[in-house]
Structure 1
Amino acid sequence: MLVAGLAVTFAFAFTTPGQQQPLDADSLSAPIHIATSWTWDDCGLSTDPVRINSINVSPDPPVPGQDLTVTVSGTAEEVIEEGAYADVTVKLGLIKILQKEFDVCEEARNANASIQCPVQPGPHTVTQTVALPKEIPKAKFIVDVAGYTANDDDMLCLKLTVNFMQKPFLRIW
Structure 2
Amino acid sequence: MSAWHYVDTSSLSDPIQIQSIVIAPDPPKPGSDLKATIVARADREIEPGAYLDVTVKFGVVQVLHRTYDLFDPMDWSIDATAPLQKGDHTLGVVVRIPPTVAHTRCVVQIRGYTVNDEEMASLDVRLDFT
Compared CA separation, residues 101 and 92, structure 1 to 2 (3 A): same
List alignment gaps of at least 5 residues for structure 1. 1-34, 166-173
Name the CA distance, whole Å, in 2 between partners of 1:108 and 1:57: 22
Structure with greater helix percent: 1
For residue 137 of structure 1, what is the aligned residue in structure 2? 102
- How does the TM-score come out when normalised to structure 2? 0.90
Per-residue deviation, residues 59-111 of structure 1 (Å, max 9, x unmatched): 11011123322111101111000111111111111121111111111148863
The gaps in structure 2 that reach 5 residues or longer are none
CA contact (8 A) 1:37 1:163 kept: yes
Report the Cα distance in structure 2 between the residues aligned to 1:86 and 1:123, rounded to whole angstroms. 19
Q: CA RMSD in A?
A: 2.0
- Aligned partners of 2:76 and 2:8: how far apart in 1? 25
Separation of aligned partners in 1, 2:4 and 2:76: 26
Tell me the alpha carbon deviations over residues 111-152 of structure 1, each in whole angstroms, 9 at most, x when there is no partner: 361x30101000000223444322222011111111100111
Q: Is the 8 A contact 1:36 1:164 kept in 2?
A: no
- Tell which structure's C-alpha radius of gyration is larger: 1
Q: Which amino acid aligns with 2:29?
A: V
Q: CA deviation at 1:162?
A: 0.4
Q: How many residues align?
A: 130
1:72 paired residue number: 38
Farther-moved stretch of structure 1 (125-134 vs 76-85): 125-134
Q: How far did 1:57 drift?
A: 0.6
